[in-house]
Structure 1
Amino acid sequence: MPDIVVRENVELPSLPSTVLPALTELTTSLGIPRNVLASDEEIEYAWRDLPRELREIPADLRGELVARMCVAVSSGLFDGAMNYIWNAAILHLRQKIRNFGLAVVAQIRQGGFEEKNLLELQDSRLLELCLKLNIIDEDGYFFLDQCRDVRNNFSAAHPTMGTVNDREFTTFLNRCVRYALADSSSPRGVEISSFISAVKGARFNEHQCQVWTQRLNDTHDAQRQLLVSMAHGIYCDAATSEPARLNALDICLGLKDTLTNSIKSELINSHTEYVAKGQEDKHTASLQFFEKLGYLGLLNESEQHAVFSKATTRLWHVHNGTNNFYNEPPFAERLLELTQQGAIPETMQEVLVHVVACCAVGNGYGVSNAAVPYYNRIIEAFSPREIATLVRLAMNRNSDLGRRLSYSPAARSRLKQALELFDPSSIPSGVKTDYDTLTR
């Protein structure tokens, strides 16, 4: 659960009655018009709006520059106030980059990046880097870049093109606060070399897995995408040890619920690249990766067909082999896991229904009792089309299922129990008569 940030109201003192008259006296004594400074009304409105913005700044960030900004506002020096709050925002963004990790930034930029480089970075480049690191989002980048332009042309930092009034200053302040200063948290980068070293090391214990999963959760989307793709590549590499493959898979399983569509798309691209390059060993491993993550539905139907076909064929061979009652459960469980990931490919529906139904009713010696719960869960999730296929196979005396039902009252009883798992509203009208016959 994220921490709840409590904002404290900021109580500013009323403007002393001497401040505004003093501004008039000052301009008069210098022999310049009063309107070269903000008017009394503008100062009063800007001062009135300050507490609303200041309360959004965490207390530890209301430092010297924020205090100077307030003093500048009280004197009508909005150009100076803009410069102070902009500098506060820039300093905070720099600190967020330090928190992210200068070494990690260097890895991402594929070039050296030290404290000196950070300090020398122009504001425009700093904003671009913050966007890349996900320290600010696209909205924040857009509005802060506008503020940068306003600051360069209308603040005391440079000779100005004109002046800003209280409303323009308050808008500037709001954007600096909202997109830079209001959030004191910042993502922490992951050192890529350390990540690879850890994954390729000894088998993770539960605590290690949690730590690395959290680190990937805490970093920004772009780096998370890079690291998940690396984990996928490690898993699919034939030269990778089994502990490393399991480490890579565990991290991805820990992130499964937070993976964005962009990350999933990158995984699919890597998977299809294995196919295009004819890398069968990596392609096979990638299929297993998608299956373990429950992402088979992301693959095209031909690849889904291949996975379902292999699992169904293996179950059928085990069912027809020796010690089938003992050997069937793990193969039945795997097929159940596949069917729970999405719809059964249309090209596999009849074969899968046939195999599961035959296994569920058993052979002349009985049924694998430990596997029956898996068969029942597969059957009760059948679509109306798959229900119709099951009924037609059961009524066809020339099918394996039909022959078993003809010779064995126990098989007919088991089929009746399986058919009663269906909701009556799911029975297609075209097979309703035969369904009623089978369930009598």
Structure 2
Amino acid sequence: MSNGINVTSQNQVVTGVDQFSNGLTTYLNELGLPESNVLVPVPERSRVINNLPEVINLVDVNQRTTSIYLSKFIAACGAGLFDAALNFIWDETVVNLRKKVARFDLEYFYDSVVTDENRRKKLRDEDDLVKLDEWELVRGCHLTGILSDIGFKHLDYIRDMRNWASAAHPNQNELTGFQLISWLETCIREVIGKEPEGPAIEIKRFLGSIRNNALTLPDAVPINAGIEHLPPDLGTSLLRTLFGMYTGKAADARLKNNIKLVCNAAWNISPDEVKYECGLKYATFASNGEIDRRDSAREFLDAVNGLPFLPSDTLAVEISEKINNLYAAHIGFNNFHNEPSHARVLDSYVSNTGIIPESVRKAYVRTVVMSKIGNGHGVSTMAESYYDNMLQKFGEHEIKEFVTLLMNTEFSSRVALSACRSNYKALVAYFLPRTTNQITQQALQMINQSTDQQLPNLGKDTRFKQLIGSYSLS
């Protein structure tokens, strides 16, 4: 017996599908219910059924026995309910991602994706993974290296389609058999049939050594060498985790000594944004009266020469919280309804001068611009006036951050969508006459002259990266 489905079985399934559709149509007519546009046409279903064996064979035989949502996906496709089938693809992917996270390093994962201190305290073990929104799960897997850059971009798109073209909305006729089988193959290749590799495995090994051993200076040398070669996104996640471990209530002297041996390497490869984040957490501990954690945060910042990244006042802490709230509303489900209240509150924190504390400026610009250009399905009209008001207050510093957004993987994925790309270029045209900085002007012109195909990858273009790098020389 072969591992796949033989041709006779496929023909029998297709014939049975046709008979089922005819019978159901007759039954709906007898009940006086609508029968048109209920089920996807049989030829579309046949395209899925005929291509399934090759795709399913990408999944390990032992793993198939527990892949219940793949069975439900096939059943939904056969029944002609493509919108439900899309849900089942996503459900299988989410279940698989949770299993991978649980086997990987839960503390590292939670520290990477959840920056709100109060919420982080409630996330402890595998059972708490269901408390994360699905977009957080996908983003966290990308931040920790469980998902590759290309895997993240594919899954972010499939998640978006699941939100807008699944059974939650009456759009099933827009889905085709080839689309579904392609999305299934992507989820299998990038998630279901793939394990973390490369730098992600290295980080798991680093963290295991730091938690379980008493390290000496010679022990730390190869660890630091490995950290120095990590991609920036993974370096960011590692620094968050080391800071979280060091300031945790359970941190003992051995663990802190281990972290001191490697924290400088993680600090040096991380962007300023996450360094300011550590400074903000110090201020949060202080304002909440968490003296032990405040002192530990100060020790950590001392060890990495990070005291210049402490916030100047508590305003930065307040604004950071409002930015996180708006970002969560924008990226979450039913965002058009949820965004306005958070946008209004954030706008109220920005004075007429438009001055934003340096420690939260990057996150502020990214969140406001992402909300303004939309998610590919539109922009929250009730929140748009607040976004326009905040964009109107952008000064040279904020416009500089605006042009560097294409260096961010999540943002570059967003402008791959035509509607977002169009809105982004409209903002480029808006800011071009408002800046006198020559580097910023050149960057805006490069963005403006990029084709639709070039724009999502412009952040990786050597010329663009060199131009952005010249900010530090000016």
* TM score, norm. by length of structure 1: 0.44
* TM score, norm. by length of structure 2: 0.41
